[in-house]
Amino acid sequence: MLDRTSDPDHHRSVITFAGDAESVLESAVRGAARAAELIDLNQHRGVHPRLGALDVLPFVPLGDATLADCAALAHRAGQRIWQELQIPVYFYQAAALRPDRTLLEKVRRGGFEELRDSVLVDETNSPDLGGPALHPTAGAVIVGARPVLIAYNINLATSDLAIAKCIARAIRASSGGLPCVKALGLALASRSQVQVSMNLTDFNVTPPHVVFGEVSRLAAAAGVTVAESELIGLVPRKALEMAFADSLRLPGFGSASVIENRLADRP
Amino acid sequence: MLDRTSDPDHHRSVITFAGDAESVLESAVRGAARAAELIDLNQHRGVHPRLGALDVLPFVPLGDATLADCAALAHRAGQRIWQELQIPVYFYQAAALRPDRTLLEKVRRGGFEELRDSVLVDETNSPDLGGPALHPTAGAVIVGARPVLIAYNINLATSDLAIAKCIARAIRASSGGLPCVKALGLALASRSQVQVSMNLTDFNVTPPHVVFGEVSRLAAAAGVTVAESELIGLVPRKALEMAFADSLRLPGFGSASVIENRLADRP
């Protein structure tokens, strides 16, 4: 296990683990089982959208693994989750079985409370495995495969949710903002702050420091300041190298400029 | 060899190489010999201070090596350079044999042209090995041991040398500026720019991004902009992590937040 991030307002934990394919598969299925034992979505409240006790299970290629390897693993995990736990499964992104299920947010739209009812009347909403009814307490698991994604949140020193929603709309790719950025405006009641909660789906296109600069600019224009930002899970080294090169105006800077990278490359 | 940086205005090359102790020692002595063959300081002009054809030879601990290991290696290198090449040697920083030779800039003060004459009349300037006369064309080699240092230059979009000198004076530690920063203002005739040329002797205390911020602020106050900055040699990974945490206001961020670091730490 590489990382766990939990948050009282999201009421959600993100757990990052790595290993060989079989270990990761086994761990994922056990994690799904334990989440279903512990969490009853009928009792659960949180500001982040969710469909399942284990809400989303993305397999991510590291090292020599490919996205196709991860998609195959996602399909095996989904089969086991349905067969062993009787929790229905949707497949998304590189593991999607239907073109309209490529985007996670489209699969999750409406969340547990809405989808629980709509699957019974509209079969286009049916899970890919199991269903049509969702599991009564654990909902459904959205299983996928995707490249590394950076989950990145910026907290604003205001409790005005409209400002976070406005900034989220301005920067999200789907409304003409920054490419490869998904964004929501959320309230963090426990901190009396609001948050621009983001997924950077390709940090090579839009890295975190560019998002920070743009959100800071929009926040300043709205008369508020950035309180802090946070990463959910881990960040790839290259995102740091990109930030360093840009913010210090180092035109020739790259991975090969870092001592440890060069020493690791030695024969 | 990990890196080589050359510059027409400095008229100077910085070569970074790594290896086991014996290989590095042998390479350093051969490098000193070749520099002495190729460079006659009587013909050499450049904006950066220098005392020798091979001007400065610092041994830096990486991996399991200690500063004491590097000081011992520096002393062996110095002995060989004097005995085999008849080039006098000064020892500095962790390899210094005299307390007044701890600082490189004090040993190098006046450079080849001044020291060549003054060693003959003032024996307090004598090399630690050889001399008192310097080598007629290769000067002397300043051999030392020190922790990782970041050589970092910021170029200003002006040809007004007074501005670079004024900023260098404002930020250098010796005149009450940023701790662990040495700075010179230099003219870059080939670019019609001026440069604040710096050594960051402990980047844990003052990292490059802090220097960039301060120089940018002082430049703006003087009505000029930063054109770009450059690293001479390589930079440790931790300097990137410090910059990322600060510039994105990520309070909990550290080495353990980077995917590749966590994977490398796995048992």
Residue pLDDT, tens place only, A74-133: 999 999 999 999 999 999 999 999 999 999 989 998 899 998 888 888 888 999 999 899
- Write the residue in A62, A230, A240 that is nearest to B240 by C-beta: A240
Nearest C-alpha neighbor of A72 from the set A92, A95, A89, A100: A95
Q: Let me know the angle formed at the C-alpha of A211 by A163 and A65, rounded to the nearest 5 degrees.
A: 130
Close Cβ partners of A99 (under 8 Å, ≥ 6 residues apart): none
Residue pair B171/B178 in contact by the 8 Å Cβ criterion: yes
Per residue of chain B (267 residues), give pLDDT as tens: 988 888 888 899 999 999 999 999 999 999 999 999 999 999 999 888 899 999 999 999 998 899 999 999 999 999 999 999 999 999 999 999 999 999 998 999 889 999 888 888 888 899 999 989 999 999 999 999 999 999 999 999 999 999 999 999 999 999 999 999 999 999 998 889 999 999 999 999 999 999 999 999 999 999 999 999 999 889 999 999 999 999 999 998 999 999 988 888 765
Residues of CATH 3.30.70.670 domain(s) within chain A?
Answer: 150-235
- Tell if the CB–CB gap between B258 and A235 is shorter than 8 Å: yes
Residue pLDDT, tens place only, A217-257: 999 999 999 999 999 889 999 999 999 999 999 998 999 99
Cα-based distances in Å from A59 to A75, A149, B29, B261: 10, 11, 52, 19
Residue pair B95/B66 in contact by the 8 Å Cβ criterion: no
- The C-alpha atoms of residue A184 and residue A50 are separated, in whole angstroms, by 13
Kindly list the residues from chain A whose CB atom is less than 8 angstroms away from the CB atom of residue B240: 240-241, 243-244, 258
Please state the φ and ψ torsions of residue B182, each to the nearest 5 degrees: -110, 140
Residue A267 has pLDDT above 80, yes or no: no
- Tell if the CB–CB gap between B249 and A229 is shorter than 8 Å: yes
Q: A247: nearest CA in chain B?
A: B209
Its ipTM equals: 0.85
- The C-alpha atoms of residue A179 and residue B267 are separated, in whole angstroms, by 38
Residue A36 has pLDDT above 70, yes or no: yes
Superfamily of domain A150-235: Formiminotransferase, C-terminal subdomain (3.30.70.670)
Close Cβ partners of A15 (under 8 Å, ≥ 6 residues apart): A1, A3, A4, A31
Distance from CA of A249 to the nearest CA of B (A): 5
Superfamily of domain B3-145: Formiminotransferase, N-terminal subdomain (3.30.990.10)
Distance from CA of B236 to the nearest CA of A (A): 5
Kindly list the residues from chain B whose CB atom is less than 8 angstroms away from the CB atom of residue A208: 248
- Tell if the CB–CB gap between B243 and A248 is shorter than 8 Å: yes
Mutation target among A240, A248, A249 for the B interface, most CBs of B within 10 A: A248
Alpha helices in B127-236 (DSSP H): 161-171, 208-221
A220 touches chain B (CB under 8 A): no
Q: A255: nearest CA in chain B?
A: B237
Give the model's pLDDT for residue B130. Answer: 93
B241 touches chain A (CB under 8 A): yes
Give the model's pLDDT for residue B7. Answer: 84
- Write the residue in A229, A251, A257 that is nearest to B248 by C-beta: A229
Tokens 């920070």 locate to: A212
Instruction: Say which DSSP state B230 is in.
Output: E
pLDDT band at A5 (very low <50, low <70, confident <90, very high): confident
Nearest C-alpha neighbor of A55 from the set A25, A24, A26, A92: A92
Close Cβ partners of A22 (under 8 Å, ≥ 6 residues apart): none
The residue-averaged pLDDT of A8-31 equals 94
- Is the four-CA dihedral A247, A251, A255, A260 of positive or negative sign? negative
Instruction: Say which DSSP state B134 is in.
Output: P
Nearest C-alpha neighbor of B85 from the set B45, B54, B49: B54
The alpha-carbon radius of gyration of chain A (Å, integer) is 20
> Which residues between 138 and 177 in chain B have a beta carbon less than 8 angstroms from any beta carbon of chain A?
148
Give the model's pLDDT for residue A154. Answer: 97
Q: Which residues of B are catalytic?
A: 48
Mutation target among A240, A246, A262, A263 for the B interface, most CBs of B within 10 A: A240
Residue pair B162/B210 in contact by the 8 Å Cβ criterion: no
Kindly list the residues from chain A whose CB atom is less than 8 angstroms away from the CB atom of residue B234: 257-259, 262
Residue pair A73/A21 in contact by the 8 Å Cβ criterion: yes
- Tell if the CB–CB gap between B237 and A259 is shorter than 8 Å: yes
Considering the candidates A48, A75, A135, A209, report the single residue annotated as catalytic: A48
Interstrand relation of B226-232 and A12-16 (parallel, antiparallel or unpaired): unpaired
| Segments of A94-236 assigned E as strands | 141-145, 150-156, 181-188, 193-200, 226-232
- Taking each helix axis from N to C terminus, what angle separates B237-247 and A237-247, rounded to the nearest 10 degrees? 70
Residue pLDDT, tens place only, A44-83: 998 888 999 999 999 999 988 999 999 999 999 999 999 9
Q: How many beta-carbon pairs below 8 A join chains A and B?
A: 116
- Number of helices (H) and strands (E) in chain B: give both, helices first: 8, 9
- The C-alpha atoms of residue A59 and residue A31 are separated, in whole angstroms, by 14
- Tell if the CB–CB gap between B262 and A2 is shorter than 8 Å: yes
Residue pair A87/A140 in contact by the 8 Å Cβ criterion: yes
Beta bridge partners of A185: A196
Beta bridge partners of B151: B199, B232
Please state the φ and ψ torsions of residue B117, each to the nearest 5 degrees: -85, -40
How many other C-beta atoms can be found within 10 angstroms of the C-beta atom of residue A34? Answer: 12
The structure tokens listed for B117 are 């004459």
- Tell if the CB–CB gap between B234 and A243 is shorter than 8 Å: no
Distance from CA of B136 to the nearest CA of A (A): 36
The residue-averaged pLDDT of A198-204 equals 95
Give the model's pLDDT for residue B266. Answer: 62
B15 touches chain A (CB under 8 A): no
B63 touches chain A (CB under 8 A): yes
Residue A266 has pLDDT above 80, yes or no: no
Residue A2 has pLDDT above 60, yes or no: yes
Work out the percent of chain A whose per-residue pLDDT is above 90.
81
Give the model's pLDDT for residue B65. Answer: 94
Mutation target among A198, A212, A244, A262 for the B interface, most CBs of B within 10 A: A244
Work out the percent of chain A whose per-residue pLDDT is above 70.
99
The alpha-carbon radius of gyration of chain B (Å, integer) is 20
- Is the four-CA dihedral A182, A31, A233, A14 of positive or negative sign? positive
Is residue A45 classed exposed, middle or buried when 0-12, 13-18 and 19+ CB atoms within 10 A define those classes? exposed
- The C-alpha atoms of residue B132 and residue B180 are separated, in whole angstroms, by 32
Residues of CATH 3.30.990.10 domain(s) within chain A?
Answer: 3-145
